[in-house]
Amino acid sequence: MTGDNRMGGRAIAEILQRAADGGRISADEALLLYTDAPLHALGEAADAVRRRRYPDNIVTYLIDRNINYTNICVTACRFCAFYRPPKHEQGWAHSMEEILRRCGEAVELGATQVMLQGGHHPDYGVEYYEQLFSSVKAAYPQLAIHSIGPSEILHMAKVSSMSIEEAIRRIKAAGLDSIAGAGAEMLPARPRKAIAPLKESGERWLEVMETAHRLGVESTATMMMGTGETNAERIEHLRMIRDVQDRTGGFRAFIPWTYQPENNHLKGRTQCTTLEYLRLVAVARLFFDNIAHLQSSWLTTGKDVGQLSLHMGVDDLGSIMLEENVISSAGAKHRSNLLELIWLIRSADRIPAQRDTLYRHLKVHRTPADDPTDDRVRSHVASNVTPPRRRRSLPVVAP
């Protein structure tokens, strides 16, 4: 071993120990860990952070439904297989009655949250979202509305010719409880322009989040890996989020996921490997000393990788996904059910617990005797990839 290699090894070990002990690491140090740290040492340090934060050894999951109100969109992101431009023959918009019907099905299956998301419809201003959120709240007050993202907020404010702050105040008053991390993709300028040239800048995305946090609306933060970004750009994405979190404290969780290569204009040219994903998950747990929760994406990476991530600092496996149309349109074929997700957590030597939007524990399954028995709670395929005549009658659960 050369002197330089020994020095590099000592530097990495020191950074890992400092981060495992709760100290802050810089973006440059995070990049070094991401590219050069031994995988097992990296995972061990990240898991040490998880154990210190959550000594109860609990890993959480959520029951919710993603309901898309329209696939009509003017933004035309190159990685998206879900949207259709205005006046396209395959464009659609659900009625309020249909949205409420889907909310009712979700409640019946034990959902505590809905994620209402859709394309940037040219006619949907703040008034549409006020009606949407208030209607859902009136019919199902027990459902948390964790919905839309900064891109939708910017779009609705533009359509309604009002400020971002006023738009957020109004949709919050109408019933919005929490903002999803949707639309983050990659925040640094070069990769963002390459995949979503018509979308707002990463700085603008974060500005909307910061405004929402200041107005009392918390959110999550996400990251889409695998569209051609560099390692340094991945870490820069984390730095941009952490800087805002230092000022607001409004991000409850960070959720990285992987680009899905089917049916979109990128056409699978770039993707993220399993090891790249797991290393990023671990580095995120070490880097985000100011974000409480780390969620992995079994929907895009697979259930085996989701389980592996529980040894890399992850404390949440996310949702059963009673309905998910956007990512599955691009080829995410992974499905699960409540019983299987609980088994994944328990067989990783963790204690499963159902949570709500705020990560409060609703049901803790300390032993198998505590597990639910309802096998109807399961994810299903994207409704928009079925023939249009069947879309509205597609069952939520498998027969």
With a cut of 80, say whether residue 392 has pLDDT above it.
no
Q: Token pair of 393, please?
A: 């009658």
Q: Over the stretch 197-238, which tens digit does the pLDDT of each residue have?
A: 888 999 999 999 999 999 999 999 999 999 889 999 999 999
Q: Over the stretch 161-202, which tens digit does the pLDDT of each residue have?
A: 999 999 999 999 999 999 999 889 999 999 999 888 888 999
Please state, rounded to an integer, the average pLDDT across all residues of the chain: 86
Q: Which pLDDT band holds residue 132 (cuts at 50, 70, 90)?
A: very high
Cα R_g (the chain), whole angstroms: 21
- CA–CA separation, 224 vs 312, rounded Å? 18
Q: Which pLDDT band holds residue 319 (cuts at 50, 70, 90)?
A: confident
* Confidence at residue 296, expressed as pLDDT on a 0 to 100 scale: 93
Q: If we measure between CA atoms, which residue out of 220, 225, 227 comes closest to residue 197?
A: 227
Query: Is the CB of residue 396 less than 8 Å from the CB of residue 323?
Result: yes
- CA–CA separation, 173 vs 175, rounded Å? 5
* Confidence at residue 267, expressed as pLDDT on a 0 to 100 scale: 55
Q: If we measure between CA atoms, which residue out of 225, 226, 248, 227 comes closest to residue 238?
A: 225
| Cα torsion through 247, 215, 211, 243, rounded to 10 | 20
- DSSP characters over 101-137: HHHHHHHHTT--EEEEE----TT--HHHHHHHHHHHH
Query: Is the CB of residue 88 less than 8 Å from the CB of residue 76?
Result: no
Q: If we measure between CA atoms, which residue out of 195, 222, 171, 207 comes closest to residue 78?
A: 195
- Maximal C-alpha separation, the chain: 69
Q: Which pLDDT band holds residue 336 (cuts at 50, 70, 90)?
A: low
**In this predicted model, which residue has the larger pLDDT, 172 or 73?**
172
Q: Which pLDDT band holds residue 395 (cuts at 50, 70, 90)?
A: very low
Percent of the chain scoring above 90 in pLDDT: 64
Q: In the predicted model, what is the mean pLDDT of residues 102-129?
A: 91
When mean pLDDT is compared over 141-145, 179-183, 257-261, 317-321, the highest value belongs to 141-145
* Confidence at residue 329, expressed as pLDDT on a 0 to 100 scale: 41
Contacts of 57 (CB under 8 A, 6+ apart): 51, 349, 350, 351
Angle between helices 27-36 and 274-287 (to 10 degrees): 150
Percent of the chain scoring above 70 in pLDDT: 84
What residue type is assigned to position 83 of the chain? Answer: Y
* Confidence at residue 337, expressed as pLDDT on a 0 to 100 scale: 79
With a cut of 70, say whether residue 364 has pLDDT above it.
yes
**Superfamily assignment of 53-393 in CATH?**
Aldolase class I (3.20.20.70)
Q: Which pLDDT band holds residue 268 (cuts at 50, 70, 90)?
A: low
* Confidence at residue 99, expressed as pLDDT on a 0 to 100 scale: 94
Name the β-bridge partners of 294.
254
Q: If we measure between CA atoms, which residue out of 250, 283, 310, 338 comes closest to residue 54?
A: 310
For 181, which DSSP code?
Answer: -
Q: In the predicted model, what is the mean pLDDT of residues 252-264?
A: 76
* Confidence at residue 374, expressed as pLDDT on a 0 to 100 scale: 73
Question: Which SS3 state, helix, strand or coil, does residue 399 take?
Answer: coil
With a cut of 60, say whether residue 397 has pLDDT above it.
no
With a cut of 60, say whether residue 335 has pLDDT above it.
no
- CA–CA separation, 321 vs 324, rounded Å? 6
